[in-house]
Amino acid sequence: MDTIIIKIYEPHQFIIKRKEWFLPELTKRKHSDLSPTEQRSSRLYLRHFIFKPPYQDYYLPKVDIFETLTKDRKRVLYILKIECSVPKLLFANSIQEAGEVHKEEIFNALKNVLWRVGIQISKEAITDARLATVHLCKNVPLPRDIRMQEALSELGRVDINKTVDITNKEEKNWGRWLQVFSLTIERIFYDKVADAMRPKGKRKDKSRIDYERALIERFGLQNREIFRYEYRIKKGQTVMREINTALGRKPKTIIAFKDLFAPNLIKTMLLKSWRDLIQRPENQLALLGPTDDLALLQHMLAQAKIGGKAHCLNKALTSYGLARTIRDHGAKEVKRIVFTTINTDHTERFTKKIEMSADLARGVPYSNTIAYIDRAIEKYELINLDLLEKGI
């Protein structure tokens, strides 16, 4: 796991010793202290306090306090919001990876670092805190014969939209990072080493990473490429849906921070997110490995013949052309051209053709790059100092 955001709603579960370290300075009010306008307000929160302590030479989570009203509008409530990079909290870097095996270390470290800056909170309050956002991630060290540029170029051909909508945002920055948006979920791919060595304003990781750079130099990783996959679940409702589905619970069950450490949950969710991306029919075609064109045609003709259905030749030829086009130009671009040239009244017809093409192409492997990353994510071996010492 990487970044998490938790919220603690019960004001008596935390004590703030250094109120002057908040901007604006933290002050508490009762309902009677509010103006009539504030008492009637339907805003999400009334005031927002940002924690700005003096410089610390260790990793410190981001802390905010929100002043709001209870549902019955009769009482003022203070919400403590904590945003934390779990690997940086434990290891001062995010090349090493954290998971469920670090459960107690994470709870204790978060409690202790907050106490050091005057935010007194119990371990129980942290474990029971509501999980609002979670970023799951995996670092995959690439061998010398596989380049990060190849991985980004190939993944840039995929499409994650559940329905055809050419207005959905998809931002790409070739050679550095690739970001695929899907409503409240993001998938991000980039080179962890190269990103760490860039100036702060140009990298994905904006936090202080002095120790991370020292670690890169210590283990001679400057000339290595580490493929990083991040699966970011950004909203509370989506977190509830995704985790409750994985745990087999009712969809609206509140997710506590401790629920994230259920056995194999993180691995299962990360692997599913990756599979959902690369196993979509259009993306199977986009990620096909380099293969002789005639060999691909022969494979698809043979698969169509096995089906023994009418018009199998026409279906094979249509599927072959579609597979080649999507592999060369990407699923999203092909959809855009088709639906701007013809129409979008019956998108399901084109979807069926894509599914048929992917079915006939089954058995043709992914590219070497995607196949290597796929095996590493499925293996899910956490990177630690022992692995770094042995040489990744």
**Is the bond preceding residue 24 a cis peptide, omega within 30 degrees?**
yes
Residue 275: which pLDDT band, with cuts at 50, 70 and 90?
very high
Question: Is residue 169's pLDDT more than 50?
Answer: no
Distance between CA atoms of residues 317 and 323, nearest Å: 10
At residue 200, the pLDDT reads: 65
**CA 71 to chain centroid:** 32
The single-letter DSSP state of residue 308 is T
Among 113-117, 152-156, 158-162, 342-346, name the most confident range.
113-117
Phi (first) and psi of residue 143, to 5 degrees:
-70, 165
Structure-derived torsion over alpha carbons of residues 166, 170, 171, 173, reported in degrees to the nearest 10:
-100
The single-letter DSSP state of residue 20 is G
Mean pLDDT of 154-162: 78
Residue 311: which pLDDT band, with cuts at 50, 70 and 90?
confident
Three-class SS state of 350: helix
Structure-derived torsion over alpha carbons of residues 340, 342, 346, 351, reported in degrees to the nearest 10:
-70
Question: Is residue 367's pLDDT more than 70?
Answer: yes
Mean pLDDT of 179-204: 80
From the list 134, 142, 297, the residue with the least C-alpha distance to 221 is 142
Residues listed for the chain: 392
Interior/surface letters 256-273, b for 16+ CB within 10 angstroms, e for the rest:
ebebbbeeebbbebbbeb
At residue 159, the pLDDT reads: 83
Residue 325: which pLDDT band, with cuts at 50, 70 and 90?
very high
At residue 204, the pLDDT reads: 63
The residue with greater pLDDT, 317 or 343, is 317
Mean pLDDT of 124-140: 96
At residue 198, the pLDDT reads: 76
Mean pLDDT of 126-141: 96
Mean pLDDT of 94-116: 96
Question: Is residue 265's pLDDT more than 50?
Answer: yes
78-87, 175-184, 197-206: segment of lowest average pLDDT: 197-206
CA angle centred on 263, ends 262 and 268, rounded to 5°: 95
Residue 244: which pLDDT band, with cuts at 50, 70 and 90?
very high
At residue 166, the pLDDT reads: 30
At residue 170, the pLDDT reads: 41
* Tokens coding 9: 């709603």
From the list 221, 234, 225, the residue with the least C-alpha distance to 187 is 234
Q: Which helix (H) or strand (E) holds 326?
A: helix 312-329
Mean pLDDT of 120-139: 96
Distance between CA atoms of residues 53 and 42, nearest Å: 31
Helix then strand then coil, % of the chain, to nearest 5:
45, 20, 35
Among 84-88, 164-168, 197-201, name the most confident range.
84-88
CA angle centred on 199, ends 143 and 201, rounded to 5°: 115
Q: Which segments within 129-213 are labelled E, that is strand?
A: 130-141, 170-173, 177-182, 185-191
At residue 173, the pLDDT reads: 46
Question: Is residue 199's pLDDT more than 80?
Answer: no
Distance between CA atoms of residues 86 and 91, nearest Å: 8
Mean pLDDT of 334-361: 87
Terminal-to-terminal C-alpha distance of the chain: 20
Distance between CA atoms of residues 87 and 1, nearest Å: 8
Query: Domain ranges in the chain?
Result: 3-278, 288-365
Question: Is residue 80's pLDDT more than 80?
Answer: yes
* Tokens coding 93: 């870097």
Average pLDDT, the chain: 89
At residue 205, the pLDDT reads: 64
